[in-house]
Each structure stands twice: as structure tokens, then as C-alpha cells.
Chains A and B, each alone.
Chain A
């Protein structure tokens, strides 16, 4: 049971990083990114390939973040002039593109086999149990660090400018803010965080494949962020952990549903996840830890 908790907290941390990433583009800058799984995949593959070629793991994580920045800039460049609704569809297509490349460029990614045996840092020295604890600590520290950084950013004039752009792009431009630059920077930083999360995941599991890049995880993170609170880093972190807890808890839903076939139980679990997203949007659209933006004084 303890090892399960350690595992769940590690994955929860990775979800929290993804939620922080999404919160930065969506919550702060108001750009939607349905291609989160794509950036996650880019980071995982970048680090797996780099460390596979002999780079130390920490170096691989750096490369993953840089690859995230590069791809993030590319996607922003291609979509900059698009409205939100176009952006949603294009980013969704982007994730599918990443999956297709990972699946078909066998020389680079080992294709459908995926890359196995990705270096697990310190595993040989620490043993399986020790490694799991060590990795939990590493992931948790990175979550804390990114959270701290983004919370600082959120409270800074920079963060307020991002939110001003979210609220009214034209007004922000009129106020002399370089809207484009802000968008580039926010998207690139967000992509770097998602890519880092992917790299952390790949080295934790020692395996990554094109099948990992399915929209499922993106949907989970949207659910988590919505529940936690869009626009506030603390909400993103809480939401990341909470959504994992919720998804794992639905496994036990079978206990309260006697007499169902296995496929019915599986379908029911998915229904719960979809319903949770809808209910959350209806009842707590601001999440449990809503954004704390000072309201404009009433005239």
C-alpha cells in the first residue's frame, strides 16, 4: 500500500506540473492548449534520446525543456494570429502530429516499440524501493520549485500583464504592452514545463511510446485544473494531485455496483470522469482555489 502511495504521489506531481503548464497559457494568458500531451511527448522523447546517446539524466531534462521551448515557439508562431477556437483545434492536431512522428520515424524514436530501458537516475545505487522514494522527492521538489516560480510570476507586473492580455488583448496593446512577445514567452515557458513533466515521467517509468501521446492525459489535466482553480498556480498544483486521486478512486466504483460486467464498470468509470468535468464547470467554474484578482472598484 505504501509503495502505491509513493507511486501515486509521484504521478500526481507530474500531473501537477502539467496543470501548472496549462495554467500558465490558459489561466494566465488565456490561450488554450489542447496539445498538452504532445509537449509531454516531445519532452519525454527528447530526454530519452539524449540520455540514450550518453548524456547524463539532468542534462536530458534540460534538453527536454529546451525542446519544449523550441516546439512551443514553433506552435505559437504558426498559430499566433488565430482565435481561441482555432487554437484549440490546431493544438489538438499538433499532439496527433507528435504521435504520428513518434510512431513512424523509427530511426529516431524506435517507432511503435517505444523506447524502453530509459535511464532511471540512481536506481542501481538505491534499489527499487529507494529509487521510488528518491524520485518522489525529486519530482516533489521540482513541483515546489516551478510552483514557487510561477506564483512569483503570477504576482509580478509580468503576470498581471498576461492577465490583462487574457482579459482584453486590444486594450493591452493600446496600453503599450508588446502582446506578441508576451504570448510567445508564456507559451514557450508553458511548453517547457510540460516537456519537463514528460521527461520526468519517461525516466520514472524507463519507458515511453507513441501510445503515451493520447488525448486522455490532456483531458485529465483540464479536469484537474478546472477543479483546482484556473488562473492560480496553487489551484493548478492542488488540481493536479486531486485529479489523480479522483481517477484512482473511481477504480473502487466497481465495489458499489454489484452485478455489472467488466466493460460496463470500465464505461461507468469514464462516465464519472466526464461527468466530473461537467459538474465542476457548472458548480465551481473558478475551482476550489479561485483566482485572487483584486476586483476593479465600482464606479
Chain B
């Protein structure tokens, strides 16, 4: 990855200058010296996850540049490596092996497909490499990962319930859940149904084949019972096709989808009337948090989708954990990540730069990020988070509420 090294060398020069110039402002952070700290992203850049990987990489790169620009951590700069997992666990394992064995990275971030994460996780805990993932399968945090894995994606129990409750709050008595075959298709539906039935409503579902150019009969089946709301459980490419067919069928009820599937890219790709009025749900920090706005500014993307907000939090947390530990290996990250993500009485921070300053001043920090408070259970799941409810209005994703 000489490109990155060259980049970083140039940045290091700038960083050095900046550190000298800024040494009054940031006395505790010196000029970056010593061997670089190696971190890596393992993202889907080709294959089915391709629409998500590139912008996730952009967010991580932006944070690393920012931190290096301010002098790095522990007097060392960060070298960011990146590999493509090809949305394929076989290729993902080969890439992870290279990152772990040859580059000796301390942490891998951003694995997206659940199969890739499950395949890569044993290599990580076997080698003491930290793994932060956005995958949704509930089974992932049940792996014997010895603490070397955290997941920033809310688990399906939490999300399913929120979908059901939100549909109810919109006055829907019956919902229909359309989803491809994912590791969470079952549990998601069970939680939606539980929420609906608790309030006397009902839920049905259909699992579709996700590579088809049309879903006319699937949509007919979904609409046959005249549901008050449709819930879409897929990803951007298949949800695009479904939404078009739902529009053609003249469905006028409510539509609810994941924030990662009905995202800014989807809106650019469909006629405005197709997506108008859809509600989306994404994990979110509490109202008034700056982290989300900061991320928007940092990467210049107006409505970053949940995977991007999550991977942004992952890199920030890993940087802070290393700074607090005074060490940069995977074990140090594992042992310290909860001390920066959820320290009792710690000062709230929403970005690595502020956190680094506080840590240098021996103050406890509690990171609250763009995807939520990022407090982890022992198993590596997030404890709780708010959800941002947004709605597509006049072709733009508009905030409805955070709750």
C-alpha cells in the first residue's frame, strides 16, 4: 500500500508543521514519530455489498487524516490499510490473513456481510486482532470471541421491536414484512410480530429472492391482505426494484424501511414519486448530539447511511482506546474500548481529537458517536441506542424525530 504511505508521508510533513504551529494549542500532543500504528478496513468494494463499502472507507480515511494531522496518537502516526472483501467470505478470509499476518494490523474495521464477519472473526480472536463490524446477524456476538469483537449495528430484537412500535404509532393495525433471506429475516419478523400482536395488530411476511428484476407477484401477495404498512427488510438494490413495483401496484399505505436501504443513493436513483413518504429507521445518537453533523461536514455527504456512521464511530473508539491504553495492539484495544465508550462520569466526546486531548490531560472520556452512544455489552453488542426516524419528503431525507 505504497500509495497510502506516500500520502501519509506528505501528510506527516504537514502534520509536523501543524504540530509545531499548533503546539501551543495542543501541548500534550507532540510530533508523530516512531513506527506507524497500522489499522485496516475490510470493506465490500465489489460484489453485492459494493454500494456501501466506498463511502464507509471515506469516513475512516477522513478520521485518520484528521488525527494524523493533529500529530497522531502516542506520538505515532496511523497508517490505514484497506482490503476488498469482495462480499465473499472466502476472499474476505484471504484478505484478513494478509492484513493480520503480513501487515500486522491492530484492528480491522467495517466488515459488512455477516458471512464475512463470521469467517474473519476466528482469525482475529486467534491472533489478538480487534474486529469492529457492522454486520447484523445475531449469531455473531455469540461467537467465542473473547472480547475481540464489537458490533455497532443494533441487534435485531431491538430493531424489530422499533419497526413494529413505529408502525403502530403511525396507526397501522396490520403490517407486511418483505425481506430477502438474511440471517436476521426470522428474528426481525418475530420481533415485529410480537410488537404488533401486543397491541392487537397483526404481521405477515414474505421472503423473496433478491436478484430479480421484477417482483410483481410478490407485491400482489403482500398487498392481498391490504396491510396498513409495508416494511422493507432488504438492501438498496432489491429495495429499489420492490419500491417501483409497489408504486406501480398503486399502494397508498405507509412504507417503512431501514435507513441503510432507503438512503440518499436510492433516492437519486428512483423517480421522486416512488420513494415519497417512506419512513426510515436508523440507529442514532441522542438529540442534540453533534457527532452526526460533524461526520456530515467531515466527509461532505449529506445523509450518510447507518453503516457509514457506524464505521466512523469504530475508528474513533479504536483510536481513543489505544491512546488510553498507551499501547496499540489488539489486546490493548479490547481491554480499553469500554473505558472510552462508556466510562462512568467520563466527559462526553463525539470525536477522536477532543477525546485525545482529554486523555492526554488524564481525564476520563465517554464517547458518544454518530450512530449512537456506543456502549457495549460484554458480548460486544450495543446496549441501547436511540433511533432516528426520518421521512422522504420532496425527495430528501428529513428528520421526523429521534426517540
Q: Pick the contact of A263 from B45, B182, B209 — CB < 8 Å? A: B45
Q: Do the beta carbons of B89 and A211 come within 8 Å of each other?
A: yes
Q: Judge if A3 is at the interface, Cβ distance under 8 Å.
A: yes
B3 CB, nearest partner CB in chain A, Å: 5
Q: Do the beta carbons of A4 and B53 come within 8 Å of each other?
A: no
CB neighbours (8 Å) of A209 from chain B are 89, 115, 118-119
Task: Determine, out of B23-31, B92-100, B261-269, the stretch whose residues face the partner at the interface.
Answer: B92-100
A228-264 with Cβ < 8 A to chain B: 247-248, 251, 254-263
Q: Judge if A223 is at the interface, Cβ distance under 8 Å.
A: no
Q: Judge if B43 is at the interface, Cβ distance under 8 Å.
A: yes
The closest CB in chain B to the CB of A3 belongs to B101
CB neighbours (8 Å) of A260 from chain B are 3
A132 CB, nearest partner CB in chain B, Å: 10
Q: A251-B98, A263-B53 are known contacts. Are A211 and B3 too (CB-CB below 8 A)?
A: no
Q: Do the beta carbons of B101 and A212 come within 8 Å of each other?
A: no
B92-151 with Cβ < 8 A to chain A: 93-95, 97-98, 101-102, 113-116, 118-119, 122, 126, 137, 139, 143
Q: Do the beta carbons of A112 and B182 come within 8 Å of each other?
A: yes
CB neighbours (8 Å) of A212 from chain B are 88-90, 115
A66-119 with Cβ < 8 A to chain B: 100, 103-104, 106, 111-114, 116
Q: Do the beta carbons of A113 and B93 come within 8 Å of each other?
A: no
Q: A205-B93, A256-B2 are in contact. List 4 more A-B contacts (CB 8 A).
A: A4-B98, A111-B183, A214-B88, A255-B1
Q: Do the beta carbons of A4 and B97 come within 8 Å of each other?
A: yes
A255 CB, nearest partner CB in chain B, Å: 4
Q: A103-B181, A211-B89 are known contacts. Are A113 and B139 too (CB-CB below 8 A)?
A: yes
Q: Pick the contact of A128 from B2, B102, B126, B207 — CB < 8 Å? A: B126
Q: A211-B89, A259-B3 are known contacts. Are A266 and B46 too (CB-CB below 8 A)?
A: yes
The closest CB in chain A to the CB of B184 belongs to A112
Q: Pick the contact of A205 from B6, B119, B139 — CB < 8 Å? A: B119
Q: Pick the contact of B183 from A4, A112, A254 — CB < 8 Å? A: A112
Complex CA gap A132/B191 in Å reads: 41
B177 CB, nearest partner CB in chain A, Å: 16
Q: Which 4 residue pairs spanning A and B have beta carbons closest together?
A: A4-B101, A266-B45, A211-B115, A266-B84
Residues in chain A within 8 A of chain B (CB atoms): 1, 3-4, 7-8, 11, 100, 103-104, 106, 111-114, 116, 128, 201, 205-207, 209-212, 214, 216-217, 247-248, 251, 254-263, 265-267, 269-270
Complex CA gap A211/B50 in Å reads: 15
**Number of chain B residues close to chain A: CB under 8 A:** 46
Q: A113-B114, A257-B3 are known contacts. Are A262 and B181 too (CB-CB below 8 A)?
A: no
Q: Do the beta carbons of B114 and A112 come within 8 Å of each other?
A: yes
Residues in chain B within 8 A of chain A (CB atoms): 1-3, 6, 43, 45-47, 50, 53-54, 57, 82-84, 86-91, 93-95, 97-98, 101-102, 113-116, 118-119, 122, 126, 137, 139, 143, 181-183, 185-186, 207, 209
CB neighbours (8 Å) of B181 from chain A are 103-104, 111-112
CB neighbours (8 Å) of B54 from chain A are 261-263
CB neighbours (8 Å) of A114 from chain B are 89, 115, 118
Q: Pick the contact of A11 from B88, B94, B114, B116 — CB < 8 Å? A: B94
Complex CA gap A112/B45 in Å reads: 21
B9 CB, nearest partner CB in chain A, Å: 12
Q: Do the beta carbons of A267 and B46 come within 8 Å of each other?
A: yes
CB neighbours (8 Å) of A201 from chain B are 90
Complex CA gap A295/B214 in Å reads: 54
A268 CB, nearest partner CB in chain B, Å: 10
Q: Is the interface of B mostly helix, strand, loop or mixed?
A: helix
Complex CA gap A205/B118 in Å reads: 10
Q: Do the beta carbons of A262 and B82 come within 8 Å of each other?
A: yes
Q: Pick the contact of B139 from A11, A116, A251, A256 — CB < 8 Å? A: A116
Q: Do the beta carbons of A207 and B118 come within 8 Å of each other?
A: yes
Complex CA gap A259/B2 in Å reads: 10
CB neighbours (8 Å) of A113 from chain B are 114, 118, 137, 139, 183
Q: Pick the contact of A116 from B47, B126, B143, B185 — CB < 8 Å? A: B143
A–B pairs, 9, beta carbons within 8 Å: A112-B115, A114-B89, A209-B89, A212-B89, A216-B86, A254-B1, A258-B3, A267-B45, A269-B84
Q: Do the beta carbons of A112 and B185 come within 8 Å of each other?
A: yes
Complex CA gap A128/B3 in Å reads: 33
Complex CA gap A209/B143 in Å reads: 15
Q: Pick the contact of A207 from B45, B50, B119 — CB < 8 Å? A: B119
Complex CA gap A223/B91 in Å reads: 16
Q: Do the beta carbons of A262 and B84 come within 8 Å of each other?
A: yes
Q: Do the beta carbons of B94 and A211 come within 8 Å of each other?
A: no
Complex CA gap A205/B54 in Å reads: 27
CB neighbours (8 Å) of B86 from chain A are 216, 266
Q: Do the beta carbons of B2 and A258 come within 8 Å of each other?
A: yes
Complex CA gap A8/B98 in Å reads: 9
Q: Do the beta carbons of B84 and A116 come within 8 Å of each other?
A: no
Q: Do the beta carbons of B98 and A248 come within 8 Å of each other?
A: yes
CB neighbours (8 Å) of A247 from chain B are 94
Complex CA gap A214/B185 in Å reads: 21
Complex CA gap A262/B7 in Å reads: 13
Q: Do the beta carbons of A255 and B45 come within 8 Å of each other?
A: no
Complex CA gap A205/B93 in Å reads: 9
The closest CB in chain B to the CB of A127 belongs to B126
Complex CA gap A4/B104 in Å reads: 11
The closest CB in chain A to the CB of B210 belongs to A103
CB neighbours (8 Å) of A128 from chain B are 126
Complex CA gap A270/B50 in Å reads: 13
